[in-house]
Structure 1
Amino acid sequence: MLAAVSTPPFTSSHQATAVSRDRGDACPGALRLHAADDGALARVRVPGGVLRVDQARTLGLAARELGDGELHLTSRGNVQLRGLETGCGGELAARLEAAGLLPSWRHERMRNIVASPLSGLDGRGRADVRPWLRALDELVCASESAARLSGRFLFALDDGRGDVAGLGADVSLQAAAQGGAWLRVGASGIGAVVSREDAPRAALLAAEIFLELSAGRVWRVAELPIAADELMEQVVRRLRTRKITLPSAPPATGRPAPGVVIGPGGTTSLSVLAPLGRLTDAQWTEVTATASGELRLTPWRGVVLPAAPADRLPGLGAAGLITTPDSPWLGVGACIGRPGCARSGSDVRTDAATALGTGGGLPAYWSGCERRCGRPSGDHVELVATPTDDSGNGYRISVVRDGRVRPIATTDTSSGLAATLAAARTHDQ
């Protein structure tokens, strides 16, 4: 059992510069809509990316009748509805609540949980994280203090394969080889060993201790004025458990490749990706028609369809989804760009499609401005829109490796952009 032992906040000699949050968290949700240039935007949290088919159809219908008809997948496995009509917030909330997508209005923006999307399907993980997912979501929704978490705070539940453990979560659980689970906060080099039964409660306790130490002044563990190791020390004391030394957070590996996923006994599931994370009404309809019981959205803007027959994959490909590892769209991402965002310096999605090559190499992410919304956390090539000397649109191209940004070139949107990007993606490969 977990023990609740009171430990007062402490001072630290940690020299990191604290982030000062002098305004409230304006992260959009399903109830707090964001005014964008293409209409209102709603972000619907989908813990672990798991949707029942009826819930998926509710989202598709809401996008069609209230918005622009498309569903936009996020890097946390959530869904955004864009182009929403003015004044539709009440109707949208009623639809989502009726479908079970708003179990707690106070906590709807705090339900940020990514989970290994192939857990329990392919026999490769150390544990099925679905029980953790259900328990943690229920605990978060029942916690008074958790309602004070920012809409950016992130939990990760990794079944041991290392796919979501490296996504920069604030609190992570990873199934251990000999049973139990490793608990980590931020990029801490130490962790705690907890039983698998106690793991969800331990993750929530770590978040609650973060809230005590942050006093509402920061939104993420990395923004605390103390090292993550010191926060983890407090968590270990409260849990009355032992601490262990953990390797650095692994890169996000083992992500689902597009195609057929073979499970124990020859069972099949399907994995597809949405080009630039955007699904049209027709594509979403094909996905929900193929799904059997549930579907799982991934942090890589894809969808896993458990227990779906292999012969349905061609239909998903014909709808325009990525179904093979050799697709030129694989690894290509972009923010919304123009005309949806006033900050954007270019229509990045059109530029990405125009410069599409043969694929391969590092992922490439197109950003309309220096904010680089939605950019991946691992190694990648980034293209940031920037004005050129003749007042046209251009891009600054850089390679990001191990968190370090190395400029490669600055170019306009001429025909040479595709070649420059291809060279950057394969540089030093």
Structure 2
Amino acid sequence: MPAPSDPPARTGGDRCPGAVRLHPADDGALARVRLPGGLLTNRQAEALARLSDELGDGHLDLTSRGNVQLRGLPEACGGELGSRLHEAGLLPSERHDRVRNVAASPLCGLDGPAPADVQAWSRALDQLLCANPDITKLSGRFLFGLDDGRGDIAALAPDVTLIATDDGHALLSYAATGSCLRIPAAHAPRAAVLAAEWFLDERRRTGSTAWRIAELPAGQRPRLDVLGQRLTAEGIAAEPAQSAPQPGVPTAPGLVPGPGGRTALSVTAPLGRLSTGQWRQLYETAIAGTGELRVTPWRGVVVPGLPADAAPARLAALAEAGLVTSADSAWHRAGACAGRPGCAKSLADVRADAAACLARSAPGQPLPVYWSGCERRCGRPGGGRWVDVLATGDGYRIAIRDNTTETARVTVPAADLAGAVATARTTTR
């Protein structure tokens, strides 16, 4: 079948929420706190919990970019929220707040040696973004992806993608597709910024209103050969390379054994949402490790560096608290938008319907699934095949989608959802 929808024609301004530019919702204002590379110290995580309890609804939502959202906020709290986030080191520049979308391989260095430290890349890239006044013209949806070579972040097709290689270099591409440029790894963060600037230049030249690379017609996409010339002029050696490696798989929940007798814990938030109690248990667990958390683009959290002998009990405690700790769980790779009553556009309480469906589902279902309350499909998965469960006002329409096609469409009432979703999730063709 043809593509279910064409890239959107952008006719208005970018309304993507930020930490101080709040988005009005039916359950109060919403703030999105960018976490470049998904990196948080336990003290920063504690600050987010306090903000949610004191200003919000007592929950934290994890996004498909590895960021955190606070909901149920008073409309006039932007000043206080921004000030407290700045004090916690979570808002280094208000002007650059919404362009700090940086995803990085969350297991980098935790399950063995990596070709490059992409977490260090993300910190350096964030500093460069915040020091660049022109980069604020990027949309709040433009994504930088830093992949340590395993292909997990490349699978998200970030607008600017950097993939570390074993020879001290990195592959730079747009949307992780087609040809690449081979550059020294030491220059990777600066090259990412130059690639984003080249996108902005091309958008201005063509008069495009696109927010993302994939929204540009093929003839208007920035040419890598010209980007290579610009990089070389800036002192970054760049040469054409073969296509990037095949996309990899997301981080799965469970124990992640690593070097030096240390083990990381990987968990997922049920439907992407955690109570502050569950969140506190995570950052208190982090104190026994490196004292940091890594929020993943798959609505999960990695807790690095726990002693190997203590890790299983710590993981069991997180499972007892209601987090997803096994890839065999039906809740693994299952997500949902906010739905009713928080979103006025939603046609159903999708979280309640999704929870009821998953509670009746068998474990070990291979395809991801995402419930959406309307055609906008906010927060839907990026890259790969997934089961789309869309509220219609008279039940749900279920289909298997990827970036270009939609198949196996069927509409069922909410009461029959569990069986239909299970059938779709186990479809292999």
TM (normalized to structure 1)? 0.91
- Report the structure, 1 or 2, having the larger helix content: 2
Deviates more, 1:133-142 or 1:352-361: 352-361
Deviates more, 1:262-271 or 1:69-78: 262-271
In the alignment, the residues of structure 2 paired with residue 260 and residue 69 of structure 1 have an alpha-carbon distance, to the nearest angstrom, of: 28
Shift of 1:21: 2.9
In the alignment, the residues of structure 2 paired with residue 179 and residue 397 of structure 1 have an alpha-carbon distance, to the nearest angstrom, of: 45
Number of residue-to-residue matches in the alignment: 406
In the alignment, the residues of structure 2 paired with residue 275 and residue 349 of structure 1 have an alpha-carbon distance, to the nearest angstrom, of: 10
For 1:79-124, what per-residue CA distance to the aligned partner results, in whole angstroms no more than 9, with x for missing partners? 0000002311111111100001111111010000000001111115
1:24 counterpart SS class: coil
Shift of 1:229: 6.3
The equivalent of 2:32 in structure 1 is 43
Give the one of 373, 377, 381 matched to 2:387.
381
Question: Percent of counterpart pairs with the same letter?
Answer: 54
In the alignment, the residues of structure 1 paired with residue 177 and residue 328 of structure 2 have an alpha-carbon distance, to the nearest angstrom, of: 36
Shift of 1:45: 0.3
Deviates more, 1:304-313 or 1:198-207: 304-313
Counterpart mapping for 1:39-78 below 5 A: 39-78=28-67
Give the one of 80, 86, 104 matched to 2:69.
80
The amino acid that maps onto 1:56 is A
In the alignment, the residues of structure 2 paired with residue 383 and residue 126 of structure 1 have an alpha-carbon distance, to the nearest angstrom, of: 38
Deviates more, 1:122-131 or 1:263-272: 122-131
The equivalent of 1:3 in structure 2 is none
CA gap of 1:64–1:47, structure 2 versus 1, over 3 A, is same
CA gap of 1:18–1:343, structure 2 versus 1, over 3 A, is closer
The equivalent of 1:247 in structure 2 is 243
Contact conserved, 2:202 with 2:220, CA < 8 A, in 1? no
Shift of 1:47: 0.3
Contact conserved, 1:126 with 1:161, CA < 8 A, in 2? no
Contact conserved, 1:395 with 1:410, CA < 8 A, in 2? yes
Shift of 1:289: 0.7
TM (normalized to structure 2)? 0.91
Q: Does 1:398 align with 2:399?
A: yes
The equivalent of 1:271 in structure 2 is 266
The equivalent of 2:109 in structure 1 is 120
Contact conserved, 1:189 with 1:229, CA < 8 A, in 2? no
The equivalent of 2:372 in structure 1 is 367
Counterpart mapping for 1:29-428 below 5 A: 29-123=18-112, 125-215=114-204, 217-227=209-219, 230-240=222-232, 241-247=237-243, 250-253=246-249, 255-292=250-287, 293-308=291-306, 309-310=310-311, 311-356=313-358, 357-359=361-363, 360-377=365-382, 378-388=384-394, 394-401=395-402, 403-414=404-415, 416-428=416-428
In the alignment, the residues of structure 2 paired with residue 245 and residue 227 of structure 1 have an alpha-carbon distance, to the nearest angstrom, of: 21
In the alignment, the residues of structure 1 paired with residue 85 and residue 238 of structure 2 have an alpha-carbon distance, to the nearest angstrom, of: 42
For 1:362-421, what per-residue CA distance to the aligned partner results, in whole angstroms no more than 9, with x for missing partners? 111111011111111221111100133xxxxx011101246311133110111x221111
Shift of 1:219: 1.0
CA gap of 1:246–1:349, structure 2 versus 1, over 3 A, is farther
The equivalent of 1:10 in structure 2 is none
Shift of 1:270: 0.7
Deviates more, 1:305-314 or 1:150-159: 305-314
The equivalent of 1:6 in structure 2 is none
In the alignment, the residues of structure 2 paired with residue 18 and residue 349 of structure 1 have an alpha-carbon distance, to the nearest angstrom, of: 27
CA gap of 1:376–1:19, structure 2 versus 1, over 3 A, is closer
Shift of 1:185: 1.2
The equivalent of 1:13 in structure 2 is none
The amino acid that maps onto 2:210 is V
The amino acid that maps onto 2:332 is L
In the alignment, the residues of structure 2 paired with residue 229 and residue 23 of structure 1 have an alpha-carbon distance, to the nearest angstrom, of: 21
In the alignment, the residues of structure 1 paired with residue 221 and residue 25 of structure 2 have an alpha-carbon distance, to the nearest angstrom, of: 39
1:183 counterpart SS class: strand
The amino acid that maps onto 1:372 is R
Aligned-residue CA RMSD in angstroms? 1.8
The amino acid that maps onto 2:304 is P
Unaligned runs of 5+ in 1: 1-16, 389-393
The amino acid that maps onto 1:37 is D
Shift of 1:125: 3.2
Unaligned runs of 5+ in 2: 1-5
CA gap of 1:402–1:110, structure 2 versus 1, over 3 A, is closer
In the alignment, the residues of structure 1 paired with residue 392 and residue 124 of structure 2 have an alpha-carbon distance, to the nearest angstrom, of: 45
In the alignment, the residues of structure 2 paired with residue 383 and residue 125 of structure 1 have an alpha-carbon distance, to the nearest angstrom, of: 37
Contact conserved, 2:178 with 2:244, CA < 8 A, in 1? yes
1:304 counterpart SS class: strand
CA gap of 1:408–1:383, structure 2 versus 1, over 3 A, is same
